[in-house]
Structure 1
Amino acid sequence: MKILYTNFHVSYGGGHTTYIAILAESLRAHHEIWVAAPPTSKLYLLCQSIPNINVVDMPFPSKPREWREIFSTRKRLRTMFEKERFDIVHVNGSPDHRLVMYAIFGLHGKRPRVVYTKHNLLPVGKHFGSQLRVKYATDHVIVVSRHTSRLLDGTPYAKCEVSVIPNGVDVEHFYPFNDEASQHARVRMVGPEHAGKFIVGSVAGTADYKGWIDMVTAIASLPVRVRATMHILIAGESPSSAQRQQVAQLGMSEHVTFAENLLDVRPCIAAFDIGFVLSYAEAISFACREMMAMGKPVIVTDCGGLPENVSDGEDGWLVPQRDPDAISSLLREITGKPETLRAMGASARRKSEVHFEKTLFVQETEAVYRRLTMST
């Protein structure tokens, strides 16, 4: 098959990037893979480094004032569709989905089958635009969690065939480090002055909705002698000045390390004693699954599809959203129990090997493509 992946995100990271990169790299041996993304995106840079992937520099403008850019991108896509005759176009957001639809209107020759993945918990529109995308440019919908699938109820997308295919991770790439390698990672990531502390960490990013400030608030509320034994490590884009000010106002600047724009998050995860994803909006979370694959139990909120990752008290913990008091209470309970945490980390690793491994994710997605191309 000839498959084109599109993604509108212009920034450094995000779940969309990991999602497309895993599929593109895994399927390139047996299919012709193309990726169209803005040149500023991590996806564009990442896919350029992977052999046998055709990477196209393509922004996906969406604002009315960008009508000239929209027309230009639509023309480029139409030309690509007519020349390359893709079997599948897999879109990953409303801006690229919309422009793919524009390019398909009036297309001469072979029309690609369009797969749309809903990655987030944003409300699904019932407006005319959604109806058009469903009618003219959606042959199948993939959702990344059971919770996300329920968001389609009562929307135009409910008319489509829908598959629930949770995100998969490469458990051979994300593997538990041994004790020596973990200690080296701790020194590298937080420095020798913090390496001996209890490190709670996240690779879910620094966006406000990720809720990481709740962890900072929770630890700030602990007694001074307890707080002094703990450190927070967060990987993602560089935090804003306002976010750094929040941390400073809590008196926590010396207790938080930001690991900015890492290409490889594994040393960061290896430095953790436990992980956390405290989001206020999360469809499933690659970050949670990557941390569990590396043998880290993870604290998650009861948000969206996050509870579908952990079994509370077995391989992680479930806390209410926006509740630092619940987090601090949990931390007081679990610190000082290294053997319990080690056992929970082993359970997290076993679950990832059985349920989160990328092979199943790739195979189920590829099966969707095959069904669509066989039905043409």
Structure 2
Amino acid sequence: MSRVLHQKGVKVLVGGRVSSPPIQSAIKHQLTTFNINLESFRPWQWIKNLKILKRVIYQNQINLINAHRPEDHFYSGLLKRQFPIIPLIRSVSDVRPPKDNLINKVLHLKHTDHFIFSCEANRDRYLQVWPLPMEKTSVIYSGIDTQHFNSNNKSTNITKYNIPSDSIIFGIVARLSPVKDHISFLKAAARLSSNISKAFFIISGEEVEIKTEQLQQLSRQLGIYDKTLFLDKFNDVRDVIELLDVGVVCSSGSEAVSRITAEFLSMSKPVIVTRVNVLPEMITDGYDGFIVPPFSPEGLSMKMHELAVNSQLLFKMKENARKTAEIRFSYERFYQDTLSIYKNVITNMIKNSGPSIR
């Protein structure tokens, strides 16, 4: 988000540990950063962090604070007494509900001016804990660079892997962890392969909690080893997405944000997703993909079969997938939605402030 705002001419400062991946990424993209360790809750570190934040606010004439993690939110809330006219916005992209305690209650209900959630499922989880006024909440889906994620030439790329040219290729691109449910994908693939000889399958991702060898062994047991390509994580994910006809995201949990779903769509790949967190909110069932229950190889294979036997439906869904990405998940949409909330929150803060603050 910071990079998009910066590209549009909005002054942005990004704070965090200088060695952390987010700050390193910010530096790489030439964003203004400042070093602060918000992950420590030691009393002496509190004082140091508050001094740093105050200095940054004064020196840069900050108009708004957008906290993205609980630690950021906590420190920003502590500053509200000294800077009452600087709005505090909390962006939430975590599947965990907030902790129900007194400090959090005060922070959420009294010191936070607006909440931006990554999906409706996140907002619903929060509302079950804190009765936030709906007008103080918004949902903004994460954006991607739809120009960067654009389709190239599938036929040229699949020859590198000796995949038959007439194949219809289904793929899952995710770290090898149980929550991504590669097992259901392989079981669905086996069901489909027994009826559709041209079906081919790709699994790409780095080993985290599951070894590639374990999934390879399962594919042998299911009789689809020769029709399944196992690839490591790609430095450029477009290289593996381009090989596919259809993307699959069959997670059983997580997915408060799903970049890969947006990337699939942007590269004109219909997506079959499970009904988990943000996933069903990103897909219009039957238009740019399908929605199935989690842990359902049967349901997944049925939808894979629909696309495998109906070339017209597959072609139309590919067109629709790209349209969805451009309309709903582009950087431009992300920027416009975010800036609109920022402006509204600042305007309301000024409107509701007393004469002395104005």
TM-score in terms of structure 2 length: 0.81
Instruction: State yes or no: 1:193 paired with 2:162.
Output: yes
**Structure 2 equivalent of residue 176 of structure 1:** 151
Instruction: State yes or no: 1:127 paired with 2:97.
Output: no
Alpha-carbon distance in structure 2 between the residues aligned to 1:267 and 1:260 = 10
**Structure 1 equivalent of residue 69 of structure 2:** 93
Instruction: State yes or no: 1:165 paired with 2:134.
Output: no
**TM alignment of 1:42-121, pairs within 5 A:** 42-51=21-30, 53-61=31-39, 67-68=41-42, 71-72=44-45, 75-85=48-58, 86-102=62-78, 104=79, 107=82, 112-121=86-95
What SS does structure 2 have at the residue aligned with 1:87? Answer: coil
- What displacement does 1:322 show? 1.0
Alpha-carbon distance in structure 1 between the residues aligned to 2:191 and 2:64 = 52
Aligned counterpart for 1:147 among listed residues 118, 121, 129: 121
RMSD: 3.1
Structure 2: which 5+ residue stretches go unaligned?
351-358
Alpha-carbon distance in structure 2 between the residues aligned to 1:275 and 1:290 = 10
Q: Would the alpha carbon gap of residues 338 and 223 (structure 1) be closer, same or farther in structure 2, given more than 3 Å must change?
A: closer
Q: Deviations over 1:79-114 (max 9, x none)?
A: 233343322221122233224334x2764x676422
The answer on whether the counterparts of 2:4 and 2:335 sit within 8 Å (CA) in structure 1 is no
- What displacement does 1:198 show? 3.3
Alpha-carbon distance in structure 2 between the residues aligned to 1:227 and 1:96 = 53
The answer on whether the counterparts of 1:194 and 1:231 sit within 8 Å (CA) in structure 2 is no
Identical pairs, percent: 22
**Structure 1 equivalent of residue 219 of structure 2:** 251
Alpha-carbon distance in structure 2 between the residues aligned to 1:57 and 1:206 = 33
Alpha-carbon distance in structure 2 between the residues aligned to 1:29 and 1:36 = 20
**Pairs aligned (count):** 338
**Structure 2 equivalent of residue 239 of structure 1:** 207
Structure 1: which 5+ residue stretches go unaligned?
1-19
Q: Would the alpha carbon gap of residues 269 and 298 (structure 1) be closer, same or farther in structure 2, given more than 3 Å must change?
A: same
Q: Would the alpha carbon gap of residues 58 and 270 (structure 1) be closer, same or farther in structure 2, given more than 3 Å must change?
A: farther
Alpha-carbon distance in structure 1 between the residues aligned to 2:116 and 2:16 = 20
Aligned counterpart for 1:265 among listed residues 237, 241, 255: 237
What SS does structure 1 have at the residue aligned with 2:232? Answer: strand
Q: Deviations over 1:111-149 (max 9, x none)?
A: 642211121332233322321321454211011223332
What SS does structure 2 have at the residue aligned with 1:232? Answer: strand
The answer on whether the counterparts of 1:204 and 1:288 sit within 8 Å (CA) in structure 2 is no
Aligned counterpart for 1:32 among listed residues 11, 23, 26: 11
The answer on whether the counterparts of 2:36 and 2:52 sit within 8 Å (CA) in structure 1 is no
Q: Would the alpha carbon gap of residues 79 and 32 (structure 1) be closer, same or farther in structure 2, given more than 3 Å must change?
A: same
Q: Give the structure with higher Rg (CA).
A: 2
**Structure 1 equivalent of residue 188 of structure 2:** 218
